[in-house]
């Protein structure tokens, strides 16, 4: 998908949600849904898409989550809010934003911090990033599996402590993934991504 396109997701009702595949969803300004002047408040300082898009936006530049009172004051009158898991989007925040708010986009897979009922009642579009962590999680899973099976942490600690002795044929060999059986609990997006990466190690099943 091009970075300036909003795609309806099939995972949840498309009338209620929009899936934004870009870094943080700031490109909503360029779509047919929201033409014209588009002001956005961003709860994360590192928003590369905002800088590139030409959006009129204000970003929190402090560390961690912006203070609640600061957000309630600065969100007034904006048309878009880009947030993350640490920002609770509830009736209090939506009331502070006012009727101009048209879209809330969260830089996360989860959306427990969003009051879905309240957002739907106000006809505010919702963006999220369902695929953003799939590859990273799958890669870390495989790396942890290799670390354990090949005793990499144990070997590293032995070297660091100066206890690495003379060569022995079976010392620190560990177990290879080749011709082994690997179990994956839950074959969803992440499970399938893990299986794809493990195929290169030629497990038995």
> What domain range is 25 assigned to?
17-128
Shared-domain flag, residues 64 and 116: yes
Determine contact, residues 76/101, Cβ cutoff 8 Å: no
Shared-domain flag, residues 114 and 146: no
Determine contact, residues 78/93, Cβ cutoff 8 Å: no
Q: What is the pLDDT along the chain (205 residues), one digit of tens a residue?
A: 333 333 333 333 333 333 333 333 333 333 333 344 555 656 555 555 555 556 677 777 777 888 899 889 888 988 888 888 889 999 999 999 999 999 998 888 889 999 999 999 999 999 888 888 999 999 999 999 999 999 999 999 999 999 888 888 888 888 889 999 999 998 899 999 999 999 999 998 8
Q: Is 66 part of a structural domain of the chain?
A: yes
Ramachandran angles phi, psi of 68, nearest 5°: -55, -45
Indicate which CATH number applies to the domain containing 167.
Answer: 3.40.50.720
User: How is residue 103 written in tokens?
Assistant: 């879209």
Rg of the chain over all Cα atoms, to the nearest angstrom: 23
Q: Is 7 part of a structural domain of the chain?
A: no
Neighbours of 198 (CB within 10 A): 19
In the chain, at which residue ranges do the beta strands (DSSP E only) sit? 17-19, 39-42, 56-59, 80-83, 103-106, 125-128
């Amino acid at each position: 998908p091009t970075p300036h396109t909003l795609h309806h997701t099939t995972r949840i009702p498309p009338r209620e949600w929009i899936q934004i595949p870009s870094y943080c969803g700031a490109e909503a300004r360029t779509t047919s849904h929201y033409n014209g002047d588009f002001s956005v408040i961003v709860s994360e300082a590192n928003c590369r898409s905002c800088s590139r898009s030409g959006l009129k936006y204000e970003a929190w530049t402090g560390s961690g989550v912006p203070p609640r009172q600061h957000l309630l004051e600065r969100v007034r009158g904006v048309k878009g809010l880009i947030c993350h898991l640490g920002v609770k989007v509830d009736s209090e925040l939506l009331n502070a934003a006012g009727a101009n708010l048209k879209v809330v986009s969260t830089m996360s897979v989860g959306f427990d911090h969003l009051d879905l009922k309240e957002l739907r009642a106000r006809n505010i579009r919702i963006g999220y990033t369902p695929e953003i962590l799939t590859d990273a999680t799958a890669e870390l899973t495989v790396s942890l599996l290799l670390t354990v099976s090949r005793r990499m942490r144990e070997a590293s600690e032995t070297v660091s402590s100066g206890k690495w002795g003379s060569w022995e044929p079976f010392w620190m060999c560990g177990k290879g993934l080749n011709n082994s059986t690997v179990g994956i609990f839950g074959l969803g997006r992440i499970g399938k991504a893990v299986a794809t990466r493990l195929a290169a190690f030629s497990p038995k099943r």
